[in-house]
Amino acid sequence: MRRSASVLVCVLLFLSVFSLPCVCAEQEPDTLWLVALGDSITTGYEMPGGLYGCDNYVNLTAAAFEKTSDEYRNHAVNGYTVTDLLELIPNYREDISKAEIIVFDIGYNDILNPIFAYMADAVESTGRRVLKVRDLEDGWNCMTDEQRMKAEKALMNALDGPYFSGLLEEFSRGVDEVLALLREYAPDARIYMQTIYNPLAALNAMNSFSDAVIKKLNGILVAAAEENKCGCYDVFSAFDGKESEYTYMANYDIHPNETGHAVMHELFMEALAKDGVKPGGGGLRSIFFPETDVSLDVPLAVWLLPLVLVIVSIPLYIMTKRK
């Protein structure tokens, strides 16, 4: 009897070790934690450190989750419009299909240039030349109250005219196509979008017009997110009234600075948290191989089996010693 119990203990201990799932620390991951897409806002344009070294909102969020640069991808491209993004996505189908989370911004290059062009025309109608953003502010400040009122009326009329209506309709179709393609490539990924802020509001020139156009575009983004069951966090409201503080507009550069990216990071973190995605809530780690990440694809019962076998073996071992 004692011999049989000893054999049984040995068998159980043997099984407890070799029933562990095979884990290979060097194995290439078949998933990516995050894939980022968009334009120069997401690349972190003007930020020192490069695409993966700067403190843009993507890298700040990855750092908060203790992710290394090989666990996520940033495929954003400076100057991209929604049409450009739609053409880019198939090039990164493999990465996108592996993504657990996808985040993107889009719209600045679709709408800011047309807004600027119409505002420049309004200033130039008074005989002043507008070649850059600074000229726009200077020209507006030199206009009489009557000229400003006339310009604002013309701009607001243009907002409901065929040009901006067509532009926004085209943008809406593009966003829908982008989301459809992302969902096709990554049906189980969490997708997050963001509204765009109005950097031109820092000029204090024709703000009612630029705000009205951007609010219409943001309405398209929010509606598309709701329809496609995606997250959409509100950058516009967070930046509203603080455009000079959160961007480089003091130098007539529309891009967010370190403070602006920190705000965008916090908004993204809040959106993730609402969906239960929080730092420290990641995968299991093996109690036998504490430095090795354990895939969540392995059923929990498989990982508990060795522990159960060890627990059962202990009293049997004690019994054999007592007899």
pLDDT digits (tens, 9 = 90+) for 268-305: 999 999 999 999 764 322 222 333 333 334 444 444 55
Classify domain 32-108+168-274 at the CATH topology level. Answer: Rossmann fold (3.40.50)
Angle at 216 between CA 257 and CA 266, to 5 degrees: 35
Pick the more confident residue, 97 or 25.
Answer: 97
Q: Please calculate the CA angle 268-94-49 and round it to the nearest 5 degrees.
A: 50
* pLDDT at site 311: 64
Residue-level pLDDT at 45:
97
User: Is the pLDDT reported for residue 247 higher than 60?
Assistant: yes
Q: Which region among 82-96, 129-143, 162-176 has the lowest average model confidence (pLDDT)? A: 129-143
What's the chain's average pLDDT? 85
pLDDT for the residue 280: 79
Segment 132-153 mean pLDDT: 92
* Residues with Cβ within 8 Å of residue 127, at least 6 apart in sequence: none
Percentage of the residues of the chain whose pLDDT score is greater than 70: 78
Q: Which two tokens stand for residue 306?
A: 């060795």
Mean pLDDT, range 132-158, rounded to an integer: 92
Tokens of 282: 């990641």
Q: Which residues make up the CATH 3.40.50.1110 domain(s) of the chain?
A: 32-108+168-274
The mean per-residue pLDDT over the stretch 202-208 comes to 89
Report whether pLDDT(165) > 80. Answer: yes
- Residue 7 reports pLDDT greater than 50: no
Band (33; pLDDT cuts 50, 70, 90) = very high
Give the mean model confidence (pLDDT) for residues 157-178: 96
- The dihedral over CA atoms of 37, 110, 127, 158, expressed in degrees to the nearest 10, equals -150
pLDDT of residue 264: 98
Question: Rounded mean pLDDT of 144-162?
Answer: 93
Residue 320 scores a pLDDT above 70: no
d(CA 305, CA 256): 51
Is it the case that residue 101 has pLDDT exceeding 50? yes
207: enclosing H helix or E strand: helix 207-227
Cα(305)–Cα(309) distance, integer angstroms = 6
The phi, psi pair for 304, rounded to 5°, reads -80, -20
Distance (Å, rounded) from C-alpha 148 to C-alpha 146?
Answer: 5
Q: pLDDT of 218-238, one tens digit each?
A: 999 999 999 999 999 999 999
In the prediction, which pLDDT does 307 show? 56
What pLDDT, on the 0 to 100 scale, is given for residue 313?
55
pLDDT band at 319; cut points 50, 70, 90: low
- CB burial of 279-294 (b: ≥16 within 10 Å; e: otherwise) equals eeeeeeebeeeeeeeb
List strand residue ranges (DSSP E) for the chain, in order.
32-37, 72-74, 99-104, 190-194, 231-233, 247-248, 253-256
Quick one: pLDDT at residue 323? 52
Percent helix, strand and coil across the chain, each rounded to 5?
60, 10, 30
pLDDT beyond 50 at 17: no
Backbone angles phi, psi at 99, to 5 degrees: -75, 135
For residues 150 and 148, what is the distance between their CA atoms, to the nearest angstrom? 5
**Buried residues in 16-51 as b, exposed as e (16+ CB within 10 A):** beeebeeeeeeeeeeebbbbbbbbbbbbbbbbeeeb
State how far the Cα of 247 lies from the Cα of 105, in Å rounded to an integer. 16
Contact 240, 207 (CB under 8 A): no
